[in-house]
């Protein structure tokens, strides 16, 4: 079966750095997405990786290793507004998105 | 500002009632999707559509149907609501072919409670 694993919850301190991991086992791979979802709101797109390596976008970076079936989202200089759930999704060989259950990130002052 | 608008944020219905969830996008996107989101589970695809009057079953279509009469509107229908359909329903849209990095734009969600 197809599976996306992420930690259920993480806690970090304002101003610090946090890394949210995502491991996947899917039938084929056609890209990996990260979305952010604040409580009660719509998920919004953060990043897309299809090749190995690091993609940097301001305070957020996303890394992909296709051989290891692994990605992480790195958030730097954490702010209180970064408290949200972070959803990892992989596009499989049929170009369908398989979603992880999401990681709830709690930022403490 | 591009938008996906879901008509109802909160609904409470009784078992057996027919439920309509409406979704409208203003981005001229070809692709539209209905997901449900439940605690501890990833988003699960109910139905999707790549064109007007076209629909495809997702992973959990049982108990649901959809309608896409106009490009901008994608409706989800629960013919006879059941308690196990209590959930958050998310509509999304995207442009381009599924093989590309087509980013989903989501609506704010419709939280349905079936009593």
In percent, how much of chain A has pLDDT > 90? 94
Q: How far is B110 from chain A (nearest CA, A)?
A: 10
Reduce the DSSP state of residue A82 to 3 states and report it: helix
Give the model's confidence band at A34: pLDDT under 50 very low, under 70 low, under 90 confident, else very high: very high
Contact A87 B42 (CB under 8 A): yes
CB-defined contacts A:B, below 8 A? 47
Tens of pLDDT, residue by residue over B44-93, are 999 999 999 999 999 999 999 999 999 999 999 999 999 999 999 999 99
Cβ contact A99–B43 (<8 Å):
yes
B101 touches chain A (CB under 8 A): yes
- pLDDT tens digits, one per residue of B11-57: 999 999 999 999 999 999 999 999 999 999 989 999 999 999 999 99
More confident residue, B87 or A93: B87
- The string of DSSP letters for B11-62 reads EEE-TT--EEE-EEESS--SEEEEEEE-TTS--EEEEEESSTT--EE-S--T
């Amino acid at each position: 079966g197809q599976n996306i694993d992420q930690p259920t919850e993480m806690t970090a301190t304002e101003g610090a750095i946090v890394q949210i991991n995502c491991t996947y086992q899917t039938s084929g791979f056609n890209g990996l997405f990260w979305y952010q979802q604040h409580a009660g709101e719509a998920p919004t797109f953060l990043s897309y990786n299809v090749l190995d390596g690091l993609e940097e976008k301001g305070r957020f970076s996303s890394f992909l290793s296709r051989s290891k079936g692994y990605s992480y989202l790195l958030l730097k200089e954490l702010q209180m507004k970064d408290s949200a759930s972070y959803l990892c999704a992989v596009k499989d060989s049929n170009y369908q998105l398989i979603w992880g259950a999401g990681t709830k990130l709690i930022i403490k002052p | 500002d591009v938008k996906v608008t879901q008509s109802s944020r909160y609904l409470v219905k009784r078992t057996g009632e027919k439920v309509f969830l409406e979704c409208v996008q203003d981005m001229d996107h070809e692709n539209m999707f209905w997901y449900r989101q439940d605690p501890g589970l990833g988003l699960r695809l109910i139905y999707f559509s790549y064109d007007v009057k076209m629909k495809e079953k997702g992973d959990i279509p049982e108990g649901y149907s959809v309608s896409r009469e106009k490009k901008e509107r994608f409706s989800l229908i629960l013919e006879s609501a059941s308690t196990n359909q209590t959930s958050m329903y998310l509509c999304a849209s995207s442009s381009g072919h599924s093989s590309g990095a087509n980013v989903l734009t989501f609506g704010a969600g419709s939280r349905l409670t079936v009593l």
